[in-house]
Structure formats: structure tokens, C-alpha cells
Chain A
Amino acid sequence: MEKIIAGKNITVNEEGYLTDFSQWDEQVGEALAAEANVPLSARHWEILKYLQNEQKNQVALSIRRIGKSGVTDIKEFYQLFPNAPLKTATKIAGIPKPASCI
């Protein structure tokens, strides 16, 4: 489906995740963060860039991996993106919601 984010027509899935990363830019990120009530600081951006980079390298994202990434620890990750940090952060970063293996 299409959604207007930061004045642009963006394709998202039913949960609001971008389906085409090429449509993402920092304004889109800011708008998605505002929607999630997460004001973005420089620290947030470091983590968002890290997540995008991991996604680019096709690394499966998990809370555990982020905790061991050296970029942040799990405690801080929760402080920066409260409640469900990985889901919130990936949405803002414009990358797919991590598939938990079953």
C-alpha cells in the first residue's frame, strides 16, 4: 500500500514497514520516528545506520546480536527505542521487520 511520509509517496506493508529501501531518506526516517514518538538524537542515528548496514550485508538482526555489536548494549537500545526496540528501530530505518525464526 502507499502512504505519504514526509511529503513523499512511499510503499509500505500492512504493518507500516517500507518495502523498498530506495524510497528511504533521513526525512522519511524523521517522520517515521515522530510517528513512533521517538525523538532522534545523534546516538539514535548511529544505531539506525548500523542496522541499515547489517541489513545491506544480509545479517539476520536480533536483540542478542545488537547487544554484542559494540555499537550499543541492550539496556541503551531499550532506552533509546522503548518497548519493542528492534521493531521500532527497523521501521524507522526503513528496513524489514526482523523475521523471528520459528
Chain B
Amino acid sequence: MKHVVILGAGTAGTMMANHLHHQLKHPDWEITIIDEREEHHYQPGYLFLPFDIYAPEDIIKTIEEFIPKDVKLVKNKINRIKPADNKIELTGGNEIAYDILIIATGAKIAPEETEGMKGAEWQKSVFDFYTFEGSLALRNKLRDWEGGKLVVHITEMPIKCPVAPLEFAFLADSFFKHKHMRDKVEITYVTPLSGAFTKPKATEALEHLLHEKGINIEPDFAIEKVDNERKEIVDYGGKIIPFDLLVTVPTNKGDELMERSGMGDDLNYVPTNKATLQSKDYANIFVLGDASNIPASKAGSVAHFEAEILTDNILRFVHGEPLKEEFDGHANCFIETGNGKALLIDFNYTHEPVEGSFPFPGIGPLRLLKESRMNHMGKLAFRWIYWNVLLKGTHIPFVSATMSEKGKHYA
């Protein structure tokens, strides 16, 4: 019997287990997924929790309920990967041998990378919303915050869901308007990029929205430290931005397991072929989702598209056929813009987000790069889709794994 081992039962790993168990069956194959946690969190919900739009119970389920019965779930911390021996060493010393390994251990925040970030003001006036704890603490803070300078900040790229901090700024604008205290809050969006986003057309649209909502933007800000006493963030060039409430996205890093195993780059991401999703160093190791170093967005939609392509490639690998260089970096993201509206963007490695209609060319019903209520309904419906369709590895009708250029207005 041959053995596939999946590391991590988050969005990417769970989808992969659901895809593969239809293809690689007993008695020829056994599939094991390893994760030390009990809960599966709907991470996009962390954005809504601070504004009391979602409650904790909306975004937490157990890992178990999404893992197929014929896949073995091992709840244990992983000590290291031993790629030369094709073995996983668990904490406690047990080893699990594999024929094929899929790494889906994700990315997480590392506030300790920035001087003073996790200092005296952490979760008092300095918050993250990329963890459940951070998001919940921020909710409690916002419930009775009386206003002042709100700074929404990105430490460095890449981060998970690169549009989330923008959405946070938009939702904050909307939240304070509804509380009739928008005039008491000054919102500043601080980014290491030269504009609101990395791609020109989307940057233009998003900066227009920031302007419309009275949100200031401070581009090209490379943070050196958080000064807890003076309540300021300081950049290497000497720029200083004062805050009363700092909502930051700290440096994101891959799992420390990669460092322990000597398999990661300087941010613990695993060097991966961006078209086949095979590890650059080991032929029988594949990397899915946020754990890899490929230049695509770190987002659930990307993991979803990758999972469809990776399933095919793993079957090719099993049959000794050449891998298909098929993954094109396809990402599809809703961007909440507040007041019950949202934008939608669809893009890949080579094509930036542009205006158009989605998924049906010329029809929609969703509009690309334009605010609409329908897009917002799409974003809210996505939570249901996530739990009921996406994690189960079911193909989403009319949305292909590689990006379609139809219905899009490229210049």
C-alpha cells in the first residue's frame, strides 16, 4: 500500500484530502492528514468579527467534520520533515513514512519581526485581525472606542489576502458612519507598496474609493518600529505616523516547521514550481496554498484553483507521466467596500484585474472592479460556499481553475 501524507488541515489541506480520496483508494492507497488543531476557522470571517457582522460561532467548526471518513486524521504536532528519508517525525518521536507528501501548513503572522509591535500596547491600542484572538480583542475595543486616529497598516509583503487591510479600512469607515461618529475618526491607510494595490488598474479604482471615503493613504512606508510610549509608527526613512488605534497586518511567515526541516526560504515559504506546484527540491513533495513561495495571492480562492490542478498533477506523478505546467496564478477576490457593497477582482500571474463581467462574459451577474450590492451578496454567500462546496473539493460551476480572459476589458 502506498501512502499520501498531507500536512495541515486548513483550507488547502482539507480540499486536497477531499479531492484525493476519490482518486487514490484503498487497498492501493492510504491518505493521512496531520494537524494538531481541533478547530477549522473560516479565516475571511476574521475581517467581519471586529465590526460585529459575524459572531465567533459563524466562523468556527471542527476540523473533523470536513475530513472524509476514509482519510486518517492524525492530531499531533509535527516536529520535522525528513525529505531525504521520506518521513515525517511527530513530536513525541513517532514517524510516518510517505510516498507522496503535500505541504499545506499555511502562513501566519509574526509580529515579533517588528521592533515594539508586540510591546506594551499589544491588544490595548495595537491590534491584528489575522488571528481569531486578535480579531475578537479588536471587536471588544471597537465596541466602546471613542474615536481618534485609526491607522490601518501593512508591515511587509507578501501577506495573506492582500486586499483584507483595504477592506478593513472601508468597513471601518462604514462602521463609524453607522455609529454616527465618523467625524471623530481619522482613518489612514499605511502601506509599503507605492499605492493601494500592486496592479495599476485596481490601484486606481481602489484609491478612488479611499479618496471618496475620506481615508488618507501613506504609501512607501517601510516600518522600522512601533513606539509604544509615543504611540507612533516609524519608518526606516524617518517618517512618523501617530495613532490612537493601530490595526496592523504583521509580517506573514510560513510555518516554523520549514525552518526546523531546513526546507523554507527566509520567510519559511517552501520553494515551489509556480506552474506545477511541485517542490523545487524534492520530486515527491508538492506544496499547496499559503505555504509555498509562488508569486500568487495567498488566498483561499488560489488554493481552490491550485487544488484542482494539483490533483491532476499528483495522478500524473503516480502514473509516471510528466506534470502539466498549468497553474496560472488565478485568484478571485471579493473586496468589501462598506455600506453593503463590494468589488470583485479576477486575475492571474500575467493579467491584472480589470473591469468586466463575471462569470458569464457580457452578462455577469457580478461586475469586475466596480462596486455593487450583488458583489456584496456574493461575498456573504461565499461563507456558505466555503463550508459546503469549497472545502469538499467540489468544482464551482462556471469558474475554471485557470483564468478566463472572456468578458474582461483589457486595454
Contacts and interface: CB of A to CB of B under 8 A. Distances in A.
A binds B: yes
Contacts of B194: 84, 87
Interface stretch (B60-68, B91-99, B154-162, B242-250): B154-162
A74 B295 CA distance: 23
A77 B194 CA distance: 18
Interface residues of B, number: 22
Interface in A49-73: 60, 62-65, 68
Contact of B156 (A64, A78, A83, A84): A64
B123 interface: no
Interface stretch (A1-9, A26-34, A39-47, A94-102): A94-102
A74 B236 contact: yes
B295 A63 contact: no
B265 to A, nearest CB: 9
Contacts of B224: 74-75
B52 interface: no
A78 B266 contact: no
A83 B236 CA distance: 9
A75 B238 CA distance: 10
Given A64-B156, A100-B158, A100-B198, A75 B295 contact: no
Contacts of A63: 156, 192, 222
B222 A102 contact: no
B237 A83 contact: yes
Interface in B266-318: 266-267, 295-297
B386 interface: no
B237 A82 contact: yes
Nearest to A65: B266
Given A68-B266, A100-B157, 17 more contacts: A62-B156, A62-B157, A74-B222, A74-B224, A82-B237, A84-B194, A87-B220, A99-B295, A100-B193, A100-B198, A101-B157, A101-B158, A102-B157, A102-B198, A102-B199, A102-B297, A102-B331
Interface of A: 60, 62-65, 68, 74-75, 77-78, 82-84, 87, 99-102
Closest 7 CB pairs of A and B: A101-B158, A78-B236, A100-B157, A102-B198, A84-B220, A102-B162, A101-B295
